[in-house]
Structure 1
Amino acid sequence: MGVAVRAAGEDDRALVVRLLDEAFQDDPVSSWVFPEREHRRATHHRLMAAFTDIVFAEGRIDITEDGSACALWLSVPAGDHAEDGGASGGASGEVDDAVRLREGVDPANERVERIARLTAEAHPAGRAHEYLWMIAVAPARQGEGLGTTLVRHVLDRCDRAGLPAYLEASSARSARLYERLGFAFTDRTLDLPDGPRMWPMWREPRV
């Protein structure tokens, strides 16, 4: 039996935030943004909530029918590039988006603002594409192929429309998983200051 996927609505917000919070608590990038474990436990969900609200406003969130996994996508138009440090990682943003993100999530934590600026600067410009911002699977359901199902749900549409796709893998392991879906590493890694490495990846549509 296949996994049913639907578009999340505003009434799914709490579920999406919880999935993201649980899935990324010990992710290398989240651990860099919030290095103190107890502070991360208390604050991380605010960053996930901010990301969720941005994507609800500007993109699309897909969720499995049973609520065990979700994927956050933005449609980036041709020529769009958040060189101004917008927190939307390639979506249209104002100069102070990254500042507002920090102030709304964890005002004293400069790394909240830094990660928004660095990912925006690394985002490719030029061609329209679909941006997989985040994907989360409930810890108890990981390894069942739910994430692959969610990604393929959009990649199939990309292939039909002739659209490329982009993401930043937060670990070497996840980068290898995305390679199986047709993503390829771009020309350089995104190395967080005194922190982990991210792998920007691009996928050409399959004809």
Structure 2
Amino acid sequence: MTPEETSALIRVLDRAFDTDPILGSLLSEKKHRARAATALHRAAVNYAVRFGVLEIAAEGAGVALWLPPGREHLTFPRMLQTGFVPLALELGWALPRLLKIDHVLTQMHTTHAPEKHWYLFFLAVDPAAHGKGIGGALLEQGVVRAEAQGLPVYLETQTEQNVRFYTRRGFVVKEEKTIAPGLTNWALRRG
């Protein structure tokens, strides 16, 4: 991907996750939260390009970042290689709180998908393109790939509206858990 294409995908992720509950719980100031989101999305795209699968739909209006079996958990060495340090610097004092949240998410992930599986790291559709089937099509691509390999798909969301989106597409809520004050995580799985 060219730097321009990468930047365009990061902007889609930024717009799609503008009200991300995790970052919102960590950073109250909008500009600070936006900088942290951009750092997170840049690192996530880099991570998926290097260690996973990045799928783009509808001329860049949607993107799915997948981590394949055996690489479905983020590791510290890989995070260092793909640019998570700027995110840590941007978070500053909020980093320890994020690490506590991540610890709970990792425990849920390990509990509900202990075997090899595909992990949906991010699924984003530009808000201007919502309702056109882009997210469902991107999700279906990954589900078909996993099913062809006889593997389940695992994901999590912190947005109740997203729970409905995924359950309509065959995912089952495995656990709903408050992971921080005012912040709920849903662990979902298909297969």
Shift of 1:104: 4.0
**Helix, strand or coil at the partner of 1:192:** strand
State the TM-score, normalized to the length of structure 2. 0.84
Equivalent position of 2:64 in the other structure: 71
Q: 1:189, 1:199 within 8 Å by CA — same for their partners in 2?
A: yes
Equivalent position of 2:108 in the other structure: 122
Shift of 1:195: 2.8
Question: Aligned partners of 1:36 and 1:192: how far apart in 2?
Answer: 21
Shift of 1:144: 1.4
Q: 1:136, 1:147 within 8 Å by CA — same for their partners in 2?
A: yes
Equivalent position of 1:140 in the other structure: 128
Kindly report the root-mean-square deviation, in angstroms, between the aligned alpha carbons of the 2 structures.
2.5
2:31 counterpart (14, 19, 38) = 38
Once the two structures are superposed, what CA deviation does each residue of 1:38-88 show, in whole Å capped at 9, x if it has no partner? 3213332112112222222210110014110001100132xx7xxxxxxxx
Question: Aligned partners of 1:179 and 1:100: how far apart in 2?
Answer: 34
Residue 94 of structure 2 corresponds to residue 106 of structure 1: no
Q: Tell me the amino acid that sits aligned with residue 198 of structure 1.
A: N
Q: Tell me the amino acid that sits aligned with residue 34 of structure 2.
A: R
Shift of 1:92: 4.1
**Helix, strand or coil at the partner of 2:22:** helix
Equivalent position of 1:50 in the other structure: 43
Relative to structure 1, is the Cα distance of residues 49 and 114 closer, same or farther in structure 2, using a 3 angstrom cutoff? farther
Shift of 1:37: 2.2
Instruction: Single out whichever of 37-46 and 140-149 deviates more from structure 2.
Output: 37-46
How many percent of aligned residue pairs carry the same amino acid? 27
Give the length in aligned residue pairs.
184
Relative to structure 1, is the Cα distance of residues 49 and 113 closer, same or farther in structure 2, using a 3 angstrom cutoff? farther
The answer to which structure has the higher helix fraction is 2
Question: Aligned partners of 2:65 and 2:18: how far apart in 1?
Answer: 17
Q: Tell me the amino acid that sits aligned with residue 49 of structure 1.
A: R
Equivalent position of 1:165 in the other structure: 153
Q: Which runs of 5+ in 1 are unaligned?
A: 1-8, 81-88
State the TM-score, normalized to the length of structure 1. 0.78
